[in-house]
Amino acid sequence: MEAIPPGALTRDLSTLLNLFDFEESAVDWMTKMAYEYVASGAADELTLRWNRQALDAIRLNPTVLTDVSQLDTSVSLFGTRLSHPILIAPTAYHRLMHPEGELATVRGAGAASALYVVSSFTTTPLAEIAQRATQPLWFQLYVRDDRAFTQNLIQEAEALGYRALCITVDTPTPGVRNREHRSHFKLPDDVRTPHMGGPLVEKKPLTWKDIEWIQSFAKTPVLLKGILNPDDAERAVESGVSGIIVSNHGGRNLDTVPATIDALPRITERVDQRMPILLDGGIRRGTDVLKAIALGASAVLVGKPICFGLACGGAEGVAKVLQILQHELELAMALTGRATLAGIDRSVIWQ
């Protein structure tokens, strides 16, 4: 991992033992505006809380006296072998959290052998991130009214080696974000988004026809991010996309939709192994990762904790957040008697 430049905000991370510690510590290392932007949810933040509460409510059913001397956390997604099923979710404006922004994030991903899904609202050009990547990159896309701009952006990402395209489909309009607005959120003058000319104020609705259009020229796998309804999951299978991400946008868009872990079993049943399903929303512990896999996810994505890790320690903070989760997943597998991800099924959930 490259050395962090002198003067960057770094600290002793040795006392931060879990992802909740990182969030608590990040308060001291972020502006109030930046912290509120990352931590907040929509409206009354019920869905934001439910994402955690639903995971906490699931109890595990361990099996003893099984051979867990050799644990295998690897997973294959769209032809890429990953050493573990924990991905960096797309989140915007990393230079709000650390002076190096996404360049620190991508170095942290490399140190922790993690796939990084880069946001359309990156504050660093895609090319610069790709130059420093040592692990696979995917690209998250907001489809703008200017469809030619959108096509060019997709093709630029593909030419740079981004291996999959995650289209956010749950944001025809931003949600009610009272807490964010109270913090008077505004990007500083020196923080820009090179691939997004401004905020999302699109007038053209994104429809299934647009997904078909994107698939007509995209050369990489297309995933739809923001699926909660099993009927939409079925439509996604029929549309020929490569995968879906069960997501409620981190509880940031429509409040009172269910926790993603509650939506997952219905979607898993409907999809019936016809495509990979990923999940984000509330993942903070290795046991959460285990539960998601048990209920049908091939992998999970982590967003807010990455931002807090970035704020606390740049690349080192990002890497430590991921490494904590990876280690906790291994412990959870060993303690429930599951040596491989394939061995994690619904029998590990206490019924």
Domain ranges of the chain: 30-348
Number of neighbouring beta carbons within 10 Å of residue 176? 16
Confidence (pLDDT) at 4: 41
Binding-site members for glyoxylate are 37, 142, 177, 249, 252
CATH 1.20.140.10 assigned to 30-348: no
* CA–CA distance, 167 with 135 (Å, rounded to integer): 21
Number of neighbouring beta carbons within 10 Å of residue 2? 12
CA-angle at 243, arms to 61 and 104, nearest 5°: 85
Confidence (pLDDT) at 8: 45
Binding-site members are 37, 90-92, 119, 140, 142, 168, 177, 225, 247, 249, 252, 280-284
190: helix, strand or coil: coil
Confidence (pLDDT) at 129: 98
**Ordered per-residue pLDDT tens for the chain, 351 residues:** 343 443 444 578 999 999 999 999 999 999 999 999 999 999 999 999 999 999 999 999 999 999 999 999 999 999 999 999 999 999 999 999 999 999 999 999 999 999 999 999 999 999 999 999 999 999 999 999 999 999 999 999 999 999 999 999 999 998 999 999 999 999 999 999 999 987 888 889 999 999 999 999 999 999 999 999 999 999 999 999 999 999 999 999 999 999 999 999 999 999 999 999 999 999 999 999 999 999 999 999 999 999 999 999 999 999 999 999 999 999 999 999 999 999 999 999 999
Beta strands in 229-312 (DSSP E): 243-246, 277-280, 299-302
Active site residues: 249
| Residue 181 parent element (H or E) | helix 178-182
- Whole-model pTM: value is 0.95
CA-angle at 115, arms to 299 and 152, nearest 5°: 110
What is the distance of C-alpha 124 from the center of its chain? Answer: 18
| Side-chain half-sphere exposure of 316, counting CA atoms within 13 A | 14
Angle, in degrees to the nearest 10, between helices 19-26 and 32-39: 150
| Side-chain half-sphere exposure of 51, counting CA atoms within 13 A | 27
223: helix, strand or coil: strand
Confidence (pLDDT) at 7: 40
Q: How big, in percent rounded to 5, are the helix, strand and coil portions of the chain?
A: 40, 10, 45
* CA–CA distance, 223 with 124 (Å, rounded to integer): 23
* CA–CA distance, 168 with 174 (Å, rounded to integer): 12
Binding-site members for FMN are 90-92, 119, 140, 168, 225, 247, 280-284
